Structure 1
Amino acid sequence: MNGEERRKEILAILDKSKSAISGEKLADIFEVSRQVIVQDIALLRAARNEILSTNRGYILQTKRGASRIFKVYHTIEQMVDELNTFVDFGATVEDVFVYHKVYGVIRAELGIRNRKDVQKYLTEIREGKSTPLMNVTSGYHYHTVLGEDEETLDQIQEELQKLGFLAELKTYEPVDFWKNQE
């Protein structure tokens, strides 16, 4: 089997799978090294296949059956704990946005999938001249988070609650404000 055929098979396996599949398992299936699988995944991503890496393995983004908006509040120093909470459950932080009474919704793409992405983001914030978007609204902000299933998002919500990061939706905040950004 050549590389192109293997990549087609990898896509087919990920498409049929109901959960993430580890690189090690894919390597065993195709009798190649894990590094070959990592390279195959990179090539598949370059071909615009949305394959996400989680702590449980690879999954097609289209297979991610659950997304949720979390309204959170914390200090800048607590950003690392907040973002690590999401990725430690294998979720992807798609964006950050705020709802400002004057300016409306201000949104930025993030695509944070793992702790390495968290560290890169925090380094860019620290070394840049800009401040986190949450500063516009005194620490209150939102994230669209993609998870494998609703149970995973429930676990994330419980952990955010324990950490004291969840914030209540106010009556002036439109419940469907994120839909206006599409």
Structure 2
Amino acid sequence: MNGEERRKQILRMIEMETISGTKLAQQFHVSRQVIVQDIALLRSAGADIISTNRGYMLQCHNRAQRVFAVKHSDAEIERELKIMVDAGGFVEDVIITHEVYGDIRAELNIGSRKQVQEFIADMQSGMAVPLKNLTEDEHRHTVTAESEDVLCFIEDELRRVGILVE
């Protein structure tokens, strides 16, 4: 496979999910540096590729977006995220409003149950504590989806389980 074909496949793959450079390198049997160069070439050709703590992803601009205000315990984080991703949502971030610092935003980039599990494992390992713990469990998530209907369904489900702040 030549470089151009590899870059086309990389674009297709990162359009579907966030993938690390290491995994891409393994998939295509090239070095991590070759993937970094491929990403740079794709960006220079106009692809809106963003780097996250979980890897590369293609930014989608034609998706519906909504910010959900929620409040729940640590034990309900997994349930909350699964409601969003199972319906077809992509959880862009978490936002809290701190009394001193104002809005604090952290990228999540979670779009699958696998990514939910990875996030939960990171939290349970003690690597970090949820930002919501700084604001008595109140926080917001920016969620994107293919349509407003999906976002309405997510809102209804969050309301049904009692974690949507209205």
* TM-score of the superposed pair, with normalisation by structure 2: 0.68
Question: Do the aligned partners of residues 2 and 83 (structure 1) sit closer, same or farther apart at CA in structure 2, a change above 3 Å counting?
Answer: same
Task: Look up the SS of the partner of 1:90 in the other structure.
Answer: coil
Is 1:117 the counterpart of 2:142? The answer is no
Asked if structure 2 preserves the Cα contact closer than 8 Å seen for 1:67 and 1:144, the reply is yes
Runs of 4+ in structure 1 off by over 4 angstroms are: 5-11, 48-51
| CA displacement 1:27-56 (0-9 Å, x = unmatched) | xxxxxxxxxxxx68xx7xx635568xxxxx
How many angstroms does 1:91 deviate by?
1.4
- Structure 2 gaps of 5+ residues are 17-26, 29-34, 50-57
Question: Do the aligned partners of residues 117 and 129 (structure 1) sit closer, same or farther apart at CA in structure 2, a change above 3 Å counting?
Answer: closer
- Structure 1 gaps of 5+ residues are 14-19, 22-38, 52-59, 169-182
Is 1:101 the counterpart of 2:68? The answer is no
Asked if structure 2 preserves the Cα contact closer than 8 Å seen for 1:64 and 1:149, the reply is no
Query: Greater CA deviation, 76-85 or 122-131?
Result: 122-131
The corresponding residue for 1:4 is 4
- Higher Rg: 1
> C-alpha distance in 1, partners of 2:61/2:141?
20
Superposed, 1:122-133 pairs within 5 Å as 122-133=120-131
RMSD: 3.4
Question: Do the aligned partners of residues 164 and 8 (structure 1) sit closer, same or farther apart at CA in structure 2, a change above 3 Å counting?
Answer: same
Task: Look up the SS of the partner of 1:99 in the other structure.
Answer: strand
How many angstroms does 1:152 deviate by?
0.8
Query: Greater CA deviation, 99-108 or 135-144?
Result: 99-108
The one-letter code sitting in structure 2 at the alignment partner of 1:71 is A
The corresponding residue for 1:33 is none
